[in-house]
Amino acid sequence: MPMYRYVCENCGSEKVVLHGMDEKPTVICDNCGSVMKKTIGRVGIIFKGSGFYSTDYRKDSGKKTDEKSEAKSEKKEEAKV
């Protein structure tokens, strides 16, 4: 059964109620006693998967560190010769 978020229009208090999708219960506010209204809950989004962030929205900071490490390795090779 899904959980639904209810908000009181009178005092603003929130409540989470567990009930079936077909049910339409009358939820009463514990603080003021008025009827609460069902609202859309806050949902966190997490993008997972290989390559999502690194190929689509990666900042250029990764390239700078690669350039620095290449420059250091070139200097070391020149020093050895």
Provide the CATH number for the domain around residue 19.
2.30.30
What is the number of structural domains in the chain? Answer: 1
Domain extent for 28: 3-39
Contact 29, 11 (CB under 8 A): yes
With pLDDT > 70 as the criterion, what percentage of the chain qualifies? 57
35 occurs within a structural domain: yes
Instruction: Name the DSSP class of 22.
Output: S
- Global pTM reads 0.49
CA 30 to chain centroid, in Å, comes to 30
Three-state SS for 40? coil
73 occurs within a structural domain: no
Contact 20, 45 (CB under 8 A): no
17 occurs within a structural domain: yes
55 occurs within a structural domain: no
Q: Which two tokens stand for residue 33?
A: 């006693």
Residues 14-39 have pLDDT tens digits of 998 888 888 888 999 999 989 999 98
33 occurs within a structural domain: yes
56 occurs within a structural domain: no
